[in-house]
Amino acid sequence: MSSSSLRNEAMKAMILAAGLGTRLRPWTDDKPKALVQYNHKPLLQWVIEKLKLYGFDQIIINVHHFADQIIDFVNKNNAFDIEIVFSDERDELLDTGGGIKKAQWYLQDVPFFLVYNVDILSEIDLHKLVQSHKKDAIATLAVQKRPTSRTLLFDNQSLNLCGWKNKSTGAEKIINNCNNYIEFAFSGIHLISTKIFDFLPYGKYSIISAYLDIAQKHLITFFDHSNDQWRDMGLKQSYESSLK
């Protein structure tokens, strides 16, 4: 995709911010993970400003845990001078897959949209991610070569998702022919074609499990940004180290 074509398209994104933040307790005892501060700024603000910098000026945020605090924060900041709406999951937390499906009403009128976990801080170049996305791909997942207990497996020739492993528990799900694969850690950032809504059911489930089902017949590929700084601020150890 050329940069000129990107400027002509509406740029929509979803920020996943509905989680309970259990890994960040006690900081999330009285606030949502999205409003935990890093360098005197809430994680949500870091993500919004990054998305805005790359031209994503129409954003939907899913909310559940301390939802009112997130909504009030965005409103008090005049939605950071872009369009921000909310997907209300206060009645039921839908996990990543169900959360994306619930936001279909807002996201379905563009060719693709970005999904970004609120607890991820990264120097990833989102323009390069968008430009790497193939028209026939249902999703392009940002990945890195880094130590992790859970890995995604991609076929070395087709570059299609072909499996998932949890090295800590030994659990795995292998699809298609996955004998010769590349192993990556998922970065919590993905560009998704709106075609995906044809395959996502309503309900509560992980988007990774949905990807593994979809990849049996359709392309789910990756964007390797291993050279970029990346940090999962949703992990207590990672967050504590950032405070030093």
Torsional class of 95: left (φ above 0), alpha (ψ -120 to 50), beta (otherwise): left
Packed helices 95-102 and 207-214: angle between N→C axes, nearest 10 degrees: 80
Residue 56 DSSP symbol: -
60 beta partners = 14, 85
Residue 132 main-chain phi, psi, to 5 deg: -80, -15
pLDDT of residue 242: 54
Q: What residue spans define the domains of the chain? A: 3-242
Q: How much is the pTM?
A: 0.92
pLDDT of residue 6: 47
Cα–Cα dist 206/129, whole Å: 22
Q: Hey, how many other C-beta atoms are within 10 angstroms of the C-beta on 3?
A: 10
Cα–Cα dist 178/98, whole Å: 27
> Could you tell me if 85 and 13 are in contact, meaning their C-beta atoms sit under 8 angstroms apart?
no
pLDDT of residue 241: 53
What dotted CATH number matches 3-242? 3.90.550.10
Per-residue pLDDT of the chain (244 residues; tens, 9 = 90+): 433 344 446 799 999 999 887 776 777 788 999 999 998 999 999 999 999 999 999 999 999 999 999 999 999 999 999 999 999 999 999 999 999 999 999 999 999 999 999 999 999 999 999 999 999 999 999 999 998 889 999 999 999 999 999 988 989 899 987 878 999 999 999 999 999 999 999 999 999 999 999 999 999 999 999 999 988 865 545 544 555 4
